[in-house]
Amino acid sequence: MTGEHAAALTVVEPGALTTVQDDGRIGLARLGIGRSGACDRRSFDLANRLVGNEPGAAGLEVTYGGLRLRAERDVVLALTGARCPDVPHNAVFGLPSGSTLRLRPPVAGLRTYVAVRGGVVVPEVLGSRSTDIMAALGPPVLRAGDELPVGAAPGRFPDVDVAPVADPASGDLVVRVVPGPRDTWLTDEAWDALLHEGYEVTSESNRVGIRLAGPVLQRATEDELPSEGMARGALQVPSSGQPVLFLADHPVTGGYPVAAYVHDDDVDRCAQLCPSQRVFFRLAAGLRRPGPEGGPDRAG
């Protein structure tokens, strides 16, 4: 906590995993540092908009509820993403000085975003306040007793008080994919499985990626792939044949083939999946089925 902004919020209880997140670190791939940032960008952006913050102001990403936050002065908050019972959701509200906000485990979704008007202004690390779990960069994971400084209220006022946004899906989720750079590395049978069978979210999932369990995706080739750049939304297929969907803290490069990319908006939806939910992948409209014999036309 710096002397500049007195602590406005105290973490009474952090819950299973609560981290500070913003838009992440952009442009540091040459240092092997990935972007990180909020996993569900749409919910994070909405929370900031609801409290009238500048886009990208840092807030909290709360995984599976459990957070208890005490206001040390009057603050203005908004909660988006995974809906926790008995607290205002997708709406701006005031938390008076001395009051405690308590987030119970969500009834829909996994990650709840807490925006505070003025933003959480913990010190930046390499230009961002995001906690990158994989690279171990950024503010430490929140613990009981942590004091969070909040910035000055921005000049603008919130322009929306309630956002009628649908809750995250609680059952099976259908997700759009496009063929990835190594789509020819899977057999036809593997593509059949990927596009027709459900893949279950396992509890080994985290901010790095969602580990999925389902029919094994067979490789069409024995080649080794030299490490290459990877991006958020990549559906990577390791030798186990069990795909991994990359989220915010994915590594900058990887040596396993990426067979497909999940549509950007659907990555936000996937960031709300809980273990045991199932994902069904569908080819985005108008695309030809990829496979070892020939994929989409390549620029030569």
Partner 1 sequence: MTRQASPRFTALPCGSAALLLELDTLDDVLALYTALADSPPKGVLDLVPAAKTLMLHLDASVTDPAAVERAVREVSPRSEDRSTGDLLEIPVVYDGEDLEEVGELTGWGVRGVVERHGAEEWTVAFCGFAPGFGYMVGASHAWSVPRRSTPRTKVPPGAVGLAGEFAGVYPRESPGGWQLIGHTELAMFDLDRDPPALLMPGTRVRFVDAGRGT
Q: Which residues bind partner 1 (CB under 8 A)?
A: 26-33, 35, 125-126, 135-137, 178-182, 224, 226-234, 251-253, 258, 261-264, 296, 298-300
**Residues 176, 260: Cα–Cα separation, whole Å:** 10
Q: Which sign, positive or negative, has the C-alpha torsion 89, 86, 209, 59?
A: positive
Report whether 127 contacts 141 (CB < 8 A).
Answer: no
**Residues 160, 15: Cα–Cα separation, whole Å:** 29
Three-state SS letters, 196-245: HCEEEECCCCCCCEEEEECCCCCECCCCCCCCEECCCCEEECCCCCCCEE
Report whether 87 contacts 103 (CB < 8 A).
Answer: yes
Minimum separation from the CB atom of position 234 to partner 1 (A): 7
What amino acid is encoded at 54 in this protein? E
Minimum separation from the CB atom of position 13 to partner 1 (A): 28
Report whether 271 contacts 111 (CB < 8 A).
Answer: yes
What amino acid is encoded at 276 in this protein? S
Minimum separation from the CB atom of position 31 to partner 1 (A): 5
3-state DSSP call for residue 11?
strand
Using alpha carbons, select from 199, 175, 209 the residue that is nearest to residue 39.
Answer: 209
Nearer Cβ to partner 1 (125/165):
125
Report whether 36 contacts 27 (CB < 8 A).
Answer: no
What amino acid is encoded at 139 in this protein? P
Report whether 120 contacts 59 (CB < 8 A).
Answer: yes
Nearer Cβ to partner 1 (145/229):
229
Nearer Cβ to partner 1 (124/189):
124
Cβ neighbours of residue 27 under 8 Å, at least 6 residues apart? Answer: none
Nearer Cβ to partner 1 (15/34):
34
Nearer Cβ to partner 1 (88/181):
181
Minimum separation from the CB atom of position 245 to partner 1 (A): 12
Report whether 213 contacts 202 (CB < 8 A).
Answer: yes
Nearer Cβ to partner 1 (156/298):
298
Minimum separation from the CB atom of position 132 to partner 1 (A): 9
* Residue pointed to by tokens 């070892």: 292
Minimum separation from the CB atom of position 296 to partner 1 (A): 7
Nearer Cβ to partner 1 (98/127):
127
Minimum separation from the CB atom of position 70 to partner 1 (A): 30
Nearer Cβ to partner 1 (94/229):
229
Minimum separation from the CB atom of position 292 to partner 1 (A): 15
